[in-house]
Amino acid sequence: MQISEPKKPQVVRTVTEVRALVRAARREGRRIGFVPTMGALHEGHLSLVRAAKEAANFTVVSIFVNPTQFGPQEDFAQYPRTLEADLQLLAAYSVDAVFAPSEQEMYPAGFDSWVEVGAIAAPLEGRCRPGHFRGVATVVLKLFNIVQPDIAWFGQKDYQQALVIQRMVADLNVPVEIRVCPTVREPDGLAMSSRNRYLGPDSRQKATILWQALCKAKQLVAAGEKDTAVLAAQLRSMIAAVPGAQIDYVAFVNPQTLAPVRRVDRPVLVALAVRIDGTRLIDNELITP
């Protein structure tokens, strides 16, 4: 007997089309799950899709490289766009629809409305990438309004992004439940990211320093070190010893507010942003003393 290949999900390109599909699913009493992505899918994204399939019975994945969250000197033009390969991966999960709009569909001529999230968007990525979270919050709110999901899934690797979305949803009374799934890592600890594709073999090996630094922080805290200035200095020294590594930040912060903390006497988020031979990577870990 011939085994048929998994069927690629239905791709819809317009707001009208995806809304029609969601309306039909709602009429059948189905629960709408949503996974927003910028494509170049990897196991981290697929873990979100699996979570959506378990909790909802109509799953939409969006694939849209959002121009408004990239700064003028960032990698928008180079960002990997791999729609056919993404659809092949999603076929194994029987995703109900993939919303893959054009830039013009999402930002038609005259578009001029923006979502500004306050304090939680200011430090860390907000400081390093001015305007980034304005673009993120705006496109995610648009996607929520278009798809109208019951639940949406995000990854912990983009920890601050998840907090920004949760703040926006709470403040603007958006009727979407936000669920955050654990970071998915390579066997050597590197957090999965679409930008890992930029790394050559040598750079890829160097990139493991982010996970090594996070593990070192946990070891030092377990050994009794509580002073975050001492901890941050140790991590900076480790990372700086790697040729081609440039540190954007090494931060020990409150997991809810992202405010800096001086001592690890309660759960703390360690957040890193490091350029490895020019490729900017982020990672984080929650540490409980």
The domains of the chain are located at 10-181, 194-287
pLDDT score of 1 more than 50: no
pTM value is 0.96
pLDDT, tens digit, for every residue of 70-119?
999 999 999 999 999 999 999 999 999 999 999 999 999 999 999 999 99
Burial 144-165 (b: 16+ CB within 10 A, else e): bebbbbbbbbbbbbbbbbbbbb
5 pLDDT band, cuts 50/70/90, is low
Question: Apex CA 20: angle with CA 18 and CA 24, to 5°?
Answer: 120
What pLDDT, on a 0 to 100 scale, did the predictor assign at position 110? Answer: 98
List the structure tokens of 92: 């194994």
pLDDT score of 244 more than 90: yes
Q: Mean of the pLDDT values across residues 227-237?
A: 98
The CATH classification number of 194-287 equals: 3.30.1300.10
pLDDT score of 61 more than 60: yes
Q: Mean of the pLDDT values across residues 261-288?
A: 98
Residues annotated as catalytic are 45
CATH superfamily of the 10-181 domain: HUPs (3.40.50.620)
Can you tell me the distance from the alpha carbon of 215 to that of 190, in angstroms, rounded to the nearest whole number? 12
pLDDT score of 6 more than 90: no
Percent of the chain at pLDDT exceeding 90: 97
Question: Apex CA 143: angle with CA 253 and CA 169, to 5°?
Answer: 45
**Single-letter residue type at 202:** D
Mean pLDDT of the chain: 97
8 pLDDT band, cuts 50/70/90, is confident
pLDDT, tens digit, for every residue of 18-35?
999 999 999 999 999 999
pLDDT, tens digit, for every residue of 144-196?
999 999 999 999 999 999 999 999 999 999 999 999 999 999 999 999 999 99
pLDDT score of 225 more than 70: yes
What pLDDT, on a 0 to 100 scale, did the predictor assign at position 220? Answer: 98
Can you tell me the distance from the alpha carbon of 227 to that of 197, in angstroms, rounded to the nearest whole number? 36
Can you tell me the distance from the alpha carbon of 139 to that of 173, in angstroms, rounded to the nearest whole number? 16
